[in-house]
Amino acid sequence: MVTPRLQSISDEPDTEPHRAPVTTSTQTPIVAPVERSFDIVLIAAVLLLLVIGTVEVFSASAVLGFKRHGDSMYFVKRQMMWIVLGSGVLWFSANTGYQWLRRWTYPLLAVTLLLLVAVLFSRPVNGAKRWFLLGPMSFQPVEIAKLALVGYLAYSLSKKADKVKQFTIGFVPHILVCAVMMGLLLMQPDLGSSVILGTTTLILLFVAGAKLSYLLLAVLAAAPVAYMLIVGTPWRMQRFLAFFNPEAYSLGVAYQSVQASIAIGSGGFTGLGLGEGRQQLGYMLEGHNDYIMASVGEELGFVGFALVIALFAVIVWRGIRAAVGARDIFGSYVAFGITVTFAIQALINTGVVLGALPAKGLTLPFVSYGGSSLLMAMFFAGLLLNIGRRAPARSRRRELVNRVGGARRRRPKAVIVVPR
């Protein structure tokens, strides 16, 4: 009896006889990282916010710039200068691997703590010691503190992944570092930024898997401190009372809040039009800065206000997307920490303008007039772009095909050949 033998016959000639055979194993092939494209949606959202912010900064500060500096375009010129510098910062952070933040975690943390201490000996501005004055420019170390804290939490949580649930290893060190930063910020004083750092820390610990009982313990421990900071400080107590009855303090601590409510109410659904706002005629002094959303609401109405909120929602969405699709757990924590920082700051700023939160001196990222705050916001956006770079499906498929055997070919057919 003749035993048949199997012979593989391909429909196409094998022009590359030395090519490695295609594996049929069920194991996933190891593929080198492919070149990824930047997140166009995130870039578009950031650019739109910058455009809206630049227009509103000019509209809200033209009268103020003319009165103080004799130039109605004084503030918008400086804003455009910061945007140009920020564009370079964004490009650098988007094209430089974010792993440098892992290597420089502790040096950056040490420098940040030194800056937060040094600023306490600086010259006060409006009763607060938050800025280093460098000639015509100023710098807030709290912006560096945001990056340092997020980098430290990402590095530590990724390193202690299996010990996060332990109280002394996974919870106490992170809370202590955050508490030291918050304490230095409260000495400036800067309650708003300290709230951002504390909330970011708790949310990242929650995402990392820390026990809810530990997080609740931290909140309960901070409650008496917050109570003493409010009750024990006269001007904070006045702001707290003005939150519930702004009309009674309309000529004092609630002046800006009342003017913001008037501006938003007069804007209606579609607004009064660009340059037609009335509160910018000397009634609202911070209309280009902390209360920029009041200017947006007055001139662009509910439509413009909702558009800005929607753009921040897009940034949060793309930030979470970048965190979920990051190449490593460190990058995932960094992206999530940056996203949480953006979300909390935008939420607090908008809540203050709408009268839903007590007054806090916080800018709106990408929109408010600012120097170091705008630069750091664009640096954070570049980090999100760097972490969230993704490859299109076709490019990824082509890379897989090239790795396992070149161009796609029909699967060889097995036929039975019986010799005569």
190-231 pLDDT, tens per residue? 888 888 999 999 999 998 888 898 999 888 988 888 888 777
What does the pLDDT read at residue 206? 92
Q: Mean pLDDT, to the nearest integer, of 272-301?
A: 83
Judge whether 147 lies within some domain.
yes
Confidence of residue 136 (pLDDT cuts 50, 70, 90): low
Confidence of residue 74 (pLDDT cuts 50, 70, 90): confident
Q: Is the pLDDT of residue 408 over 70?
A: no
H or E element at residue 134: strand 132-134
Q: Mean pLDDT, to the nearest integer, of 39-44?
A: 93
Which residues, including other chains, have CB under 8 Å from residue 346's CB and lie 6 or more apart?
309, 312, 364, 365
If you count them, how many residues does the chain have?
A: 420
What does the pLDDT read at residue 265? 87
Confidence of residue 414 (pLDDT cuts 50, 70, 90): very low
Q: Give me the residues paired with residue 125 across strands.
A: 128
- Alpha carbons 246 and 268: distance in angstroms, whole number: 21
Which residues, including other chains, have CB under 8 Å from residue 244's CB and lie 6 or more apart?
none
Contact 322, 39 (CB under 8 A): yes
Q: Please state the pTM of the whole predicted model.
A: 0.81
Confidence of residue 390 (pLDDT cuts 50, 70, 90): low
Judge whether 410 lies within some domain.
no
Judge whether 404 lies within some domain.
no
Judge whether 10 lies within some domain.
no
Q: Give me the residues paired with residue 128 across strands.
A: 125
Backbone angles phi, psi at 341, to 5 degrees: -60, -45
* Other beta carbons less than 10 A from residue 390's beta carbon: 15
% of the chain surpassing 70 pLDDT: 84
What does the pLDDT read at residue 11? 40
Considering only residues 82 and 2, tell me which one the structure prediction assigns the higher pLDDT.
82
What does the pLDDT read at residue 36? 64
Q: Which domain holds residue 303?
A: 36-389
Q: Would you call 118 helix, strand, or coil by DSSP? A: helix
User: Structurally, how many domains does the chain consist of?
Assistant: 1
Judge whether 156 lies within some domain.
yes
In 175-312, DSSP assigns E strands to none
Residue 241, classified by CB atoms within 10 Å of its CB into exposed (0-12), middle (13-18) or buried (19+), is middle
What does the pLDDT read at residue 260? 86
Judge whether 162 lies within some domain.
yes
% of the chain surpassing 90 pLDDT: 36
Judge whether 177 lies within some domain.
yes
What does the pLDDT read at residue 240? 80
Q: Is the pLDDT of residue 315 over 60?
A: yes
Q: Which amino acid is at 357?
A: L
What does the pLDDT read at residue 285? 74
Judge whether 20 lies within some domain.
no
What's the chain's Rg over C-alpha atoms? 28
